[in-house]
Each structure stands twice: as C-alpha cells, then as structure tokens.
Amino acid sequence: MPLCNNDSDPTTPDCSASGKYINDDGVTTDLTDRHSFSFSYNHNNSATAGAAPDSMEIDIVSSGPEKVINGNDRLGGIQIYDYTHLNFTGAEYDVTATEQGDDGKPTTVNLGPTSFRKADDRLIWIPNVGVKIKELRLVTKISFTKKA
C-alpha cells in the first residue's frame, strides 16, 4: 500500500511505495545467477478534488545476468490492490512500458488498458493478445495514464 503525504511540494509525489523482487531458478546456490528488481511506485493526487490520480508510474531498476532465467522474468500482468480505498473507483488507465530496444535506446510499448476486478477490489492489467514484453529486466518504467 502506498504511503501518502499531505505535503504541498509539487516536486515530490503525493503517494509512493517501493519493493524488491528476486527471481532465480529455484535450484542454484550461485547468488549471482539471479535477477533482482527494485520497484518504485508513485502517483500524484488529481487536480480534480476526490478523483483518481491522472497518472501513475512504476520505475524499475534491475540487475543480474544478461539472460532469461525462467518465465518469471517476463511481465505477465499487474495488479494494484485496494482500488476503492485508494480512490481509483471508476478510473481506467492506458498502460505503457519503456524498455531498452534492440539498439540500446528506450522504446515505449503500448500495453493496452486496465480494468477493475470488483471481486477482489483490484485495478488489473493483463497483456492483450500480441503484446510482448521481451524481458522485465529490460523494462525501466511502466506508466498508467487515466482515460478521459
């Protein structure tokens, strides 16, 4: 759950969270043969009082070998829990990922829309057919832009 502040400084996010994900093959004892992903989430409150955030971002810093270890190195979906409590009610977003292209330059990939899953109060993104993220370790940012 993001921590939110009442700071009026426009240069700092209103809400933020961070976490780490480590992926290895489940067998290796070589601690260098794994990927480590650090995630930093942030959003600012909407300019419209009481509305869901206009945008959200997840910055990703990864380390590890230059290879795919297993399927967990690929982005298979995103779920933001406690949708209603975070005041996202009714909001849907378009999702993009910034990843390192084959030429080493950043490339933005349109991942498609989010949806609300009422049964467990989550904002979810599931890949559209044909949307491929090569490897999570090549993704540097995931952006959510609120639909009009």
Structure tokens at 85: 């409590």
Structure tokens at 7: 């700071």
Query: In what helix (H) or strand (E) does residue 96 lie, and over which residues does it extend?
Result: strand 93-100
**What string of pLDDT tens digits covers the 148 residues of the chain?**
788 877 666 666 788 999 999 999 889 888 889 999 999 999 887 777 778 888 999 999 999 998 889 888 888 889 988 888 777 777 899 999 999 888 889 999 899 999 988 888 899 998 877 777 778 899 999 999 999 8
Give residue 111's region: left, alpha or beta (phi > 0; psi -120 to 50).
alpha
Asked if residue 135 lies in contact with residue 74, where contact means CB atoms within 8 angstroms, the answer is: yes
Q: Which residues contact 104 (CB under 8 A, 6 or more apart)?
A: none
Q: For residue 37, report the phi and psi dihedrals to the nearest 5 degrees.
A: -120, 125
- Amino acid identity of 17? A
Q: How far apart are CA 52 and CA 70, in angstroms?
A: 36
Alpha helices in 21-145 (DSSP H): none
Walk me through the domains of the chain, giving residue ranges and CATH numbers.
3-146 (2.60.40)
